[in-house]
Amino acid sequence: MNREYLGESKAVLKHLGFLVDDYQMQFSFQSFEECKGFSGPVNTYSFYNKNGCFTLHQVVQRGEWGWYVSKDYHENQYDLLETEIRQNEFISTNGLSYKKMLKELAFCISNQISASNQFFGIKV
């Protein structure tokens, strides 16, 4: 297991691990060599249950992060990228490090769950 995987998975789980601990969601990390013609690595961090899958999609070399939902968890990254969530509709991402983005995302998800027992359309 490489160091980058450990560090970023730890950061993702530090902020979003409550989905696993409190809501019994499953977590999966996957790494891919490319995405849509861009030579990777490309990493995915997925939280899923029987009601859907939320995936953080990271283009490592560019430092870009996307948020996606799909009906199910998949081992094919393109199936995980079923519906993109427009981050700027939920948090201000301007100038945020990925760790601060994760903190803001966790706050956003917690608020959605408190209000409706779901986040981004995924029931918990």
Sign of the C-alpha dihedral, residues 42, 58, 73, 25?
Answer: positive
Please give the structure tokens belonging to residue 115: 């209000």
Amino acid, single-letter form, for residue 92: S
The average pLDDT across 45-50 equals: 98
CA 66 to centroid of chain Cα atoms: 7
User: What residue numbers bound the domain in which 38 lies?
Assistant: 3-123
pTM: 0.90
Place of tokens 């601990």: 21
Say which residues have a Cβ less than 8 Å from residue 21's Cβ, sequence separation at least 6. none
pLDDT in tens, 93-112: 777 888 999 999 999 999 99
The segment with the largest mean pLDDT, out of 31-35, 52-56, 59-63, is 52-56
The separation between the first and the last C-alpha atoms of the chain, rounded to the nearest angstrom, is: 30
Say which residues have a Cβ less than 8 Å from residue 20's Cβ, sequence separation at least 6. 13, 26, 27, 47
How many distinct structural domains can be found in the chain?
1
In this prediction, residue 122 has a pLDDT band, given cuts at 50, 70 and 90, of very high
More confident residue, 37 or 56: 56
Where b means 16+ CB within 10 Å and e means fewer, 93-112 reads eeebebeebbbbbbebbeeb
pLDDT in tens, 4-27: 455 688 999 999 999 999 999 999
pLDDT in tens, 59-74: 888 888 999 999 999 9
Q: Does position 3 have pLDDT exceeding 50, yes or no? A: no
Preceding amide of 41 cis, omega within 30: yes
